Structure 1
Amino acid sequence: MISKKNWICTAVVMSAFLIALLAAAVPKQPVAIAGEENGYYGKKAKYVFYFIGDGMAMPQINSTEIFKGTLNSSDPMYKEKLNFTVFPYQGMQTTHSTSSFITDSAAAGTALATGHKTANDVVGVDPTNTIKFKTMAEMAKEKGLKVGIVSSVSIDHATPAVFYAHEPSRNNFYEIALAMGNSGFDYFAGGGLLSPTGKKKDLPNALDIAKQKGYKVVNSQEEIMRLAKNDGKVIAIQPDLAAEEAMQYEIDRTNQLSLADFTRKGIELLDNPNGFFMMVEGGKIDWACHANDAATTVRDVMAFDNAIAEALKFYAKHPTETLIVVTGDHETGGMSIGFSGTKYETFASKINKQTMSFEEFDKKIKAYRATVGETNANLQDWLPILASEFGLVDLTAYDKQRLSDALAQSMLDSKKRAKDEQTYLLYGGYEPFSMTVTHILNQKAGIGWTTYAHTGVAVPVFAQGVGGEKFQGYYDNTDVAKKIMGIMGVKFQ
């Protein structure tokens, strides 16, 4: 028989053993260290690249990989990876705003820049316009990092604006332009300004005000390429801008600077011992998707990927100090790899025969309309152009009927065109003939679209470098911002 004393000793020993087992089974929480922010306990990134493909989700990415495969291989099943799709860490983010499951760029951008949700149309503030959300770019500047904002669309557009402006409407372009000059950021580049002198064009030029605040404003290729670190704060605007003060679509670009050129120049100007933060937006991916123009879309994704290649060159020199994050703000167009008319087949090489964007083709339509008037258009006039500029030589009777109907609509003044639901479903408010040409080409390539607006699907996130492992999993778009903030060593507010 065990004595009472021995029983007590045995119980004490067993209790201690069980406690030790339980302690070993419970995962240990990291011990907070002074200065650690937002749940990140690893090494901080000194250099942070944030690439946002506006309107870019998996359909745009996969389509581009398939398209690149057709350019570089005779194997119809070859798909060529992009620079960022081979990043070691990948996740998915949800994109809804506070007002809709289908976000716009202002709300999505605010989430990606500040870690806070807001309503569609709102830039950098809460839906009631009472709380200004501090952006990671502003935090980086306060920390002593240099900051750059680059976009292929106007620099006062929603996505670039959310990193430095706080407005109840994304359409407050003049106020956003003033905020750019007040930001103190070191490098703005790409597109121009939509409303530099206000809606009535009667206010002081925002670029002149920026000059008074110490910015050097340049808008020639020679001046941009000559920029050096001793030039201080810079606003570099692409010369010969396209519509809406944006850079050219990549498919239309000739000798103008590319998004990669502006990214490379930004790295040169921002590089310093304290580090830097740079956001680069491929903004015209979104615009091409709104217009359901697949060839223009994939070319702009490729241009975006070329800009990422510039960051990777820098990363190769600073692999233990650099973070690169690539994502989109939402998907646009409901793009799909697959069309009912081609069933299980795709023919991506067909869109390589398109030589210009829908925007450039619109100019040809406008010139033709001015020549023949409303009633004298003839599809036969266009067949050689459709063959040479779009590769459309296998047109069916149904294709030609669609094209003839659309051409007739395009010959009308926009005010005279039908405004019913059927017309919108066919053309989405774009030039009817141009839209029908690209739709037919896309469909023959096996590419489909569901909308001329955004969709609510989740968007991928790709990361490489310091803290990149944090971007694995499935999370909200606000978490992308919080993760970057933590890895950059600034506190989410």
Structure 2
Amino acid sequence: MKRKVTLIMAMMLLVFTASAKKGPKYVFYFIGDGMGVNQVMATQYYLADLEGKMGYNPLCFTGFPYTGLVITNSANTYVTDSSAAGTALAGGKKTNNNVLGMLPDKETPVQSIAEMAHNKGYRVAIGTTVCVDHATPAVFYAHQPSRDNYHEIGIELSQSGFEFFAGADFHTPFTKDNSDEGNYVQAEKAGYTIVRGYDGYKEKAESSDKILMLEKNPKSDHYLSFAIDRNEDEMTLSQITTAAIDFMMKDPKKGFFMMMEGGRIDNAGHGNDAATVIQETLDFDEAIKIAYDFYLKHKKETLIIVTADHETGAMGLSNGAYRLNSKVLQYQDMSEGEFSAYLEKKGREIGDILTWEEVEQELKDHYGFWDKIRLRDSQTDRLRTTYVETFGMGPGELKEEEYYKVDKMSDEATKIISEVAQISWGTGSHSGGYVPVFAIGVGAEQFTGQMDNTEIPMKIKKLAGY
């Protein structure tokens, strides 16, 4: 009798142990390109400031129970780029800046956790708000000595066999000499159904084995529009995430690995455009909410990781005045680049140089200057000086080919609204600062404290059994 009881207890222990070690079946990996600690904090302060209260309003992902700080240096410099950081986040190996999915020798490939998962039978989805062959998405399926080998990266996309890709478009779908059939044909021959926009996905998803979801009418082959500039009919990261989950769950028994990138936080950081950084971070959070809703239905099988590849802009939450005034950023209603394009278009429409009075009105309408935001006399003088540097003394002053070079004007306006918001910037490039990691779900407790970026994919690999 004792022997029988002992045997039963041993079997129960084995079952319990196996159950306890069961890893996540569904893995979400969100990467906010350029999203440092201060980008996240600025967004939370902004939400509270809009309500007129002191403190912060948490985002969905900042409410995750486990958090840590991530070190981002590459193999050859303390300030990484996206390809080196992405290689670390995807494959757990350091490489040099500009190298993608390979070791510094530019010969040895680094296998990504997406490739590992796929080899184990999991379905894989890769989505981004930039082009599908950009550095961060590319490190999960491509191996190139240079991140700039966009066409070759596009070829590897088709060869990966991953079930779902989404982004703005291919960066370089054709070679200069048309030496091959191009990335679109290559994808179709590899079994991908190319769809345009979320509506296109919904029309073709049911009958497709693999999906390549691109923007319907992209303003740029490289990027989806910033959230602050986006029209209602343009594709979003939330739509990409929704489509990816839907497509992955066509075969739910297999489980999935999914990487979603908020790629334009970085672009806004390069432009030191605080309002656009915050709106991109909020947009990123909206996509994470969709994954979180999935988690609530599959708590015992899901892991969500949110992190970043590096910080961009050396964003500071003060410019020396011991206060922030971030609520003024609500009055900027388009990105720096979009405002520049808007002024150029307006000038072309009238066929002449915009007057100072016309530019002044646009600054009131799109930045809130003077009407909603009080400027110092010195700031107004800077805008007037920039007007002269940009447009000359007015109509007819500049040569025809110089009429519409208005980047200086939008750049100065964006600098000034950051000053009024009490936000400072240390660089127009990347910085070597910490980035955060947030986690919830099966094994999330592993993602706490200080860690190197190479540790994150290795933890995921171990937990999921890739």
Query: Please, what TM-score do these two structures have when normalized by structure 1?
Result: 0.84
**Is the Cα contact below 8 Å between 1:136 and 1:481 reproduced in 2?**
yes
Counterparts of 2:88 and 2:176 in 1: how far apart (Å)?
Answer: 28
The corresponding residue for 1:460 is 436
Cα distance between partner residues in 1 of 2:231 and 2:148: 30
Kindly indicate whether residue 240 of structure 2 is the aligned counterpart of residue 262 of structure 1.
Answer: yes
> Which of 372, 390, 393 is 1:410 aligned to?
390
Q: For 1:432-488, what per-residue CA distance to the aligned partner results, in whole angstroms no more than 9, with x for missing partners?
A: 111110110111011111110000011111010011011111111000111111111
Matches within 5 A, 1:272-291: 272-291=252-271
1:188-224 Cα offsets, whole Å, 9 max, x none, are 0121111000245553221111101110001144212
The answer to whether the Cα contact below 8 Å between 2:48 and 2:55 also exists between their aligned partners in 1 is yes
Deviates more, 1:439-448 or 1:389-398: 389-398
- CA distance in 1 between counterparts of 2:306 and 2:46 reads 20
Tell me how far 1:244 sits from its aligned partner.
4.2
Q: Displacement of 1:364 after TM fit?
A: 2.2
CA deviation profile, 1:145-198 (whole Å, cap 9, x unmatched): 000000000111000000000001110000000000000000001211110002
C-alpha contact 1:386 1:392 (8 A) present in aligned 2: yes
User: Offset of 1:406 from its aligned partner?
Assistant: 2.7
Superposed displacement of residue 225, structure 1: 2.6
Alignment of 1:380-395 (within 5 A): 380-393=357-370, 394-395=374-375
Q: Deviations over 1:286-324 (max 9, x none)?
A: 000100111111111011001000101110111011000
Structure 1 contact 291–430 (Cα < 8 Å) conserved: no
Deviations 1:94-149 (A, max 9, x none): 00001110000000000000000000011000112121010000001000000000
C-alpha distance in structure 2 between counterparts of 1:461 and 1:105, whole Å: 17
**CA-to-aligned-CA distance 1:57-80 (integer Å, 9 cap, x gap):** 111101111112234x232x1411
SS of alignment partner, residue 117 of structure 1: coil
Cα pair 2:103 2:110 within 8 Å, conserved? yes
Task: Measure how far apart 1:350 and its partner are.
Answer: 0.4
CA contact (8 A) 2:262 2:284 kept: yes
Deviation at 1:245, TM superposition (A): 2.7
2:427 is the counterpart of 1:451: yes
1:339 aligns with 319
For residue 79 of structure 1, the aligned residue among 56, 63, 77 is 56
- Alignment-derived partner of residue 8 in structure 2: none
Identity of aligned residues (%): 38
CA spacing shift, 1:282–1:129, aligned 2, 3 Å: same
- Equivalence for 2:46: 67
Letter in 2 for 1:246: Y
Change (3 A) 1:266 1:430: farther
Partner residue in 2 for 1:20: none
**Matched AA of 2:442:** V
1:226 corresponds to 2:194: no
Aligned to 1:133: 110
Structure 2 residue aligned with 1:472: 448
2:423 maps to a residue whose letter is I
Extract unaligned runs of 5+ from structure 1.
1-32, 418-428
CA distance, structure 2, for counterparts of residue 299 and residue 411 of structure 1 = 30
Distance 2:43 2:269 in 1: 13
RMSD: 2.3
The one of 439, 460, 464 equivalent to 1:484 is 460
Counterpart position of 1:399: 379
Partner of residue 116, structure 1: 93
Instruction: Tell me which residue corresponds to 1:317.
Output: 297
Higher Rg of the two aligned structures: 1
Aligned mates of 1:190, 1:293 — CA distance in 2: 23
Aligned in 2, Cα 1:270/1:437: closer, same or farther, shift over 3 Å? same
* Closer, same or farther: CA 282–199 of 1 in aligned 2, 3 Å: farther
Matched, 1:93 2:66: no
Give the distance between the partners of 1:59 and 1:242, measured in 2 at CA: 29
Quick one: structure 1 residues 318 and 100, their matched pair in 2 at CA, closer, same or farther if it must change by over 3 Å? same
- How much has 1:404 moved relative to structure 2? 2.7
Deviation at 1:365, TM superposition (A): 2.9
Aligned with 1:157 (options 118, 134, 146): 134
Q: Is the 8 A contact 1:369 1:411 kept in 2?
A: no
- CA deviation after TM superposition for structure 1 residue 90, in Å: 0.6
Contact 2:198 2:240 in 1 (8 A): no
Contact residue 188 and residue 236 of structure 1 kept, 8 A: yes
Q: 1:331 to 1:372 in 2, by over 3 A?
A: same
Change (3 A) 1:478 1:260: same
